[in-house]
Structures are given as C-alpha cells and as structure tokens.
Chain A
Amino acid sequence: MADGELIVKGGYVVDPTRKIDGEVADIAMKDGKIVDKVSSSAKVIDAKGKVVMAGGVDVHSHVAGPKVNAGRLMRPEDKLLSGTCRSGMAQKNGYRMESGFSIPSVFRTGYEYGRMGYSFVMEAAMPPLLAPHTHEEIHDTPIIDEAALPVFGNNWFVMEYLQKGEVENTAAYIAWLLKVTKGYGIKVVNPGGTAAWAWGLNCLNLNDNVPYFEITPAEIIRGLIEANEYLGLPHSMHLHQNDLGNPGNYKGTIDALKIAEGIKAKNKFGREQVMHSTHLQFHAYGGTTWADFNSKAKEVMDYVNKQKNITIDLGCVTLDETTTMTADGPFEHHLHGLNHLKWTNVDVELETAAGIVPFVYDPQSKVCDIQWAVGLELALFAKDMNRTFITTDHPNAGPFTRYPRVIKWLMSKKAREATLGSFKHKDKVIEATNIHGIDRELSLFEIAQMTRSGPAQCLGLKNVYGGLAPGMSAEVAVYDLNYKNMPSDPEKIEAAFQRAACFIKSGEIVVKDGEVVSNGHKKTVWVNVKMPENPQVTRDVTQAFTKGTYTMNLINYPVREYLAPHPYVIDVDVEA
C-alpha cells in the first residue's frame, strides 16, 4: 500500500450525507481518512458496476458483555447452527476460530460484521458493575469499532435523584459513570420495571409506582432525557420501553414517545433527537390477547413521522431460532412462562438485571409471522429514513447476520410476498397486518440512510462514520450490485449485502470477495464528560461502597485503561 493510499474506482456511490445517489465516482483514502484525491501510486480497487457505500453503523446490538456471554454459555446447541466453519485458508492464515449462530463468539461477531461491510457497532446494554467484562469482550472482537451504553433506567442513584427532581445530580452521576465504565451514553431498559423485578415484580404502565423508590417509569424517562440534554451527550437517551412484547402495548408506546414532546436537543454533535426508541417492533402491537394480536405499526409510525425529535430502530423478526436477552428481567421471566425453554437471569446489585431465554420464531406460528410483518411495516410506513434504522435487536428478534435479509424484504415486495406466501396462517396474518397491501420498495439510498448516515447522526458520530465526505474515517463497503440494473431476483440483493465485495475499515482492506483478509485495528469509542466534581454525588457513590451496599471495593470499580486499548474518546465539556 503506497503511503497508506487507496482509491475505490468507478463504483456507483450512494452517500446520503452528501445526497449522492448512484453517481459514478471515485473514493480516495489516505492514512485512514477519506480525502479528495490521492497520488497515482495509490492502490486501486475496481468497483466498476458495483455499489459503494460508507461502512455500516449499527445503533443497537447485543454483541459483548455478561448477558451475551451467559447466552453463549447456556446454549451449546447454538453452535450447531454456526454455518461456515473456519476454512483451511483461514486456519493457515491464523484467523481465529468462529462459532455460534444467534450469539456468535467474539471472533465470529467481528468477522461477520466485517463481511457485511459494517464499521461501528453499539453494544446496547452494559451493566456498569460488569463493565470490565464488556470491555474484555470488546477488545477481543476483531475489525469493528465498538462502544457500549451503560444502563441507567433502574439505577438506584438515578431513581433517588430523580425522585427528588435533581436533574443536575443525575447528570453528574451519569458523567461519573460514563467515565469509570468507559461508556457511551444513556441506555434505559424497562425503566422502573427491572428495579421492581428485584422483588419479582414489574412496571408495565408508565405511571406504575416503582417499589420502594416512589417514582414512575414516566418520571425516569423524562428525567433522563433532561439529564442527557443537560450534559449534551453525543447520543440521546436510548429507550427500551415498558410492557415489551405484549398485545395492545402500542398505546403505552405512543404515550412514552410523547414524553419527548417539546424537548429540544442540545449538543455539539449534530444530533437532532432527544429520544431513541429502540426495537419498536416489540412495542407496536394491538389486540388484547394472542388470539386477536395484530399490527399497530401504522398508528405508531404516524406519531413518529410527525415528531421530529425521535429516532427509532426496527428490531425486525427474522423468523429464526434465536436467543432473547435483555436487561428487561421481568419480561424474560414472562417469556419463559410462554415457551418453557431454559431461563437465565442475572440481577445486578443497585443497577440492573438481565434475562435470557432461547426463542424460536416459527414461521408456522401466526404470532411470529405478525411480528415479522410489524418490523417491516415500521420501515415501510416511515417517512424519514434518516430517523429509522435497521436492526434486529440482535439477537432478540434475530441475529445481526440477517440484516441483508431484512434489506431484501424492504427492497422487494416480491420477496415479502414470497415469505408471506410460505406461511401456514397466511390469511390470518394478512388480516392482522398491513404488509400485504404495501407496495413500497425501499431504494439503495434509503437503505444507506437506515444503515449509515441515519444511525451515525443519531449517535452523534456523523463526522466520523456513515458517510464518504473527505475528512471522515475511511470506512468503505463495496457491494456486488449494479445500481443501474438491480437484480430481479431478490435473493441476489441479500447475497450482495451478506458478503461485501470489498470492505475497507479505517483505510485498511479487511474483506475481499466476502472473505476476511485482516483482523483490522479496532477501536473502543467512549464518552468522557468533563464537568466540575459534584460533592453530593461523590459522597453518595462513596457511601454506597463504604457502607457495603455494593459488594465490590470502589477502587476496583472503574474499568482500567488497558482493558480498552485503542480508545477513541469523545470529550464533552459541561460548563458549571
């Protein structure tokens, strides 16, 4: 590689950040950054007749940490579905062994994201006490840059401050915790409900009382949005709502979204939303029981479409056997009561909980099929694709390796109809959903918005990832698709997105012809909030340790530097 120079030549560039839609252009890179031009000695990658996009950005995926690993540990059978084994060449070249389907090993996670042309992945829930574990997994994951969102929605300190209306103290606590856990932003999972779960209870309603803490989920959500904007973090409050997965939950969903009304984003990162509502598919259900279960995707998206300060991701059901895992502990217990498969639970002192249950989204089950339709409908009803992101809430609704399949369904009515036609209860599914009547097919530009520019902006990373403008990180994916002549067979769309023809990560070729050729140089991204020390918070935190409410010593709580090698630290200054 001449002076670290690279040029991707002659491809159809799709870059929503610069409103480029299919123009033939060259993308030049030097020293890990995209540049205007390079010298003639630059290494040339021929992308003629292929689509060129920025590296993918995943806003929400459970890829590293204690509950992910508990899932790996409890499910040896998941390894049977691994698919591709390490090839002879990979062995010879020393690529690490890969394993796992719905909860792949760290090596497989990095390699699979790489093969799909993804640059950045947000680990969606990190229990602060167990943060060193999450970082150990992150640094063992090749290729992709990663960050992790610590969970705050059931944290004792947060609930106590917010109960007293102390947003400033909440913010100071958040700032401290982000620093010591090397976290990225504020994740909220079933606010209040998971705290109630410590006593075996739950909060299904926004106005339920959280036992002992005398606060409601709605108050926690509002308080954390305010704290987030007080700090001006790159990402917004990232919400997994209450009452996940139950028939008729869409009303509560819209009520929770309404909490964001009238609040303005305040930050220096170009982020416009104040709430990211994640895996909305699980929260857009109508009906009263599983018998009259139906899609309310339209109702939910009608609200989202007109409310500009909200972003969402889909959480598409992919009709696979998978492993559900969430910090929504009471939900997993409930789910286990439905399918009676094995159940793992991890309650974490003062902070959060997690549950894990394997789940089979059986195409022969009407309910699963309706869930499948709801996920896709959300995208098809969306008006602003820069606020609507593709996820499968990996591995909850399906593994991330199915993103190409989701893209196929979104881009092709033919593919949707083929899947719909394969259902045993096709007629009932059509009756309970809107999908059969939707003709919309998304364009490559819209897919790039949903997987690149949109999530990057939502995460406050739009100057680094998600686009191909000079100055941005050199993340370039080349897909074997002819923009001018898209294949009539939708399977070819899936195949192209599954294995990138070429993927350049931070200016280095890591995937060629769908095969990993380098382990890359991954980074750990975290947010360092600089604000004056808050004596009240310092005292409260110290006491929780010295009085032994925590069973760990405070000195051993912060994640040590060496566990997050190659940090990419985003500084946020908060004025006193």
Chain B
Amino acid sequence: MIRSIPAAAVTRAVAELCVKANRELPPDIVQALKQAAREEPWPTAQGTLSVLVENLSAARERCLPICQDTGLACVFIQLGQDVHIEGDLARAVDQGVRQGYEEGYLRKSVVADPLRRGNTGDNTPAALTVDLVPGDRLRLTVVPKGFGSENMSALKMLKPADGVEGVRRFVLDTVRAAGSNPCPPIILGVGIGGTFDKVALLAKHALLRPIDRPHPDPYYAALERELLEAVNGLGIGPQGFGGRTTALGVNIETMPTHVAGLPVAVNVSCHVTRRASVEI
C-alpha cells in the first residue's frame, strides 16, 4: 500500500523543528553539560560551564535562540519506500526552513554563492539528505549547524597502515588545531571508512546519535570512550580558557571501505549541538 503525504505537511513539520531545535537542546546534551558543570575540577572552567547551563534556561524562558548562529539548516529525511509525496519534497523542505526562520526570529546565515556571497535573506536552501528506507513513514530531523565549529572540521585519506593509531592522531590534531574556535566543550562526529564523500556524511550522521548512546559495536564504543578521554586530556577546556571539559562526547560511525584506503572525517560541533526530529 502506498501512503500519500502532502508536501505541505513536510513544510509545517520542518518549520516547527527549526524553531524547536534552536531554542531547546536535546536531553542528552543538556544532561552532559550539567554533569560536566558538576564534575569539572578547574574552577574557572566550572564557572564557564555553569554560565552555559544558565544560558539554556535564559533561552527557554525568553523564547530566544540558544546561540545567535542559528545555523545552516541540515535536514535529514528517512523516506519510507511506500510513501508518495504529493508535491516537490525539496521545495517543501526549503519552504519549511523559510517559514521557521521567519516565525522563530532566527538568523538568516546563508549566502547564495560561495565566492560571490550575497545573503539569500531566508536561510534557504537547506542542506538536504534523503535516505530511502523500508516502510510507509517519513522521519524528519533538523540539525541547525553553526559554522564556528563546522569550519574546524577536517577530512583525511589515511593509509591502511596508519590504523587506529592514525585515526587517533588525526582526531587529536584536529581538536588541537581548533582550540578555542569551535566554542568548547565540543562534540565530535567521527566518520571512518567509505569513500571521500561518504566519510564526511558519516561524520555528520554521527552527530545525530545521542551522546549517551554508545556505538553498538563494543570495539567502537571503547574507541569512543578512549578518544573522549584523550581529547579531555588536552587541557583546552570550556571556551579554550583551560580545564578538563574540552568535549562532551565523541560519536563514531563507520562503513566498509576499499582495500587501499582508510578515510577519516571529523565533524566538529559545539556545545550547542542541536537536533529535533518528528515522524510523519
């Protein structure tokens, strides 16, 4: 049976998710931030983390975006194969971004051309990723991505001989080079495997998973813990002013790759790692 979903329903959902994601962090991130504020041993860092927690309440109470960089709207759709969209899906998503960013008093941060610039004025287009999945449901996730952290992301085609040690070195080098720029405490999405293009998408997908849910494979769950500990040994600390809490979480996603390759990508995200989902 084919199930029909009007494009207007997608537009409405995207608009609401844009506003929600920008005002309220997901529970796993809030929890991690509060826990870090309790456990941070360095006094100035502890103070900084408390201010960040306070900012979350201020945003909620005053209906303000948590951060003024309300991001480029990354939209992920898991589209059931038995769904028929009545209308143009990509246009419906852009229309949702347009409405959400206007209604929510969110900042319009998109330029029409990477070199010639020029603000599009409505935060469109979205960065849309569609995955076909079995079933007749449509799952929408909106991830408004700020560029203070996006700019610090990096990708490298390692050699197979570099192995897990090479991955560890690249992740730490990326975080060290980012320093205070991506508004630590950060969250890292790490992609390993695939191809040049797929590994970047893996890293972004890794940021969609709650940071309190480890990788299902114990090998990678252990690597996530180990990388988090190593990053928090660098001393960068909240805002780069020094301290233990440089990162709140490290998520890894992997896929098979070529015999000759070991692609790795690190998508850096700040403490305002936003995501909101709905199923239609």
- A and B part of one assembly: no
Q: CB within 8 Å of B: which residues of A?
A: none
Q: CB within 8 Å of A: which residues of B?
A: none
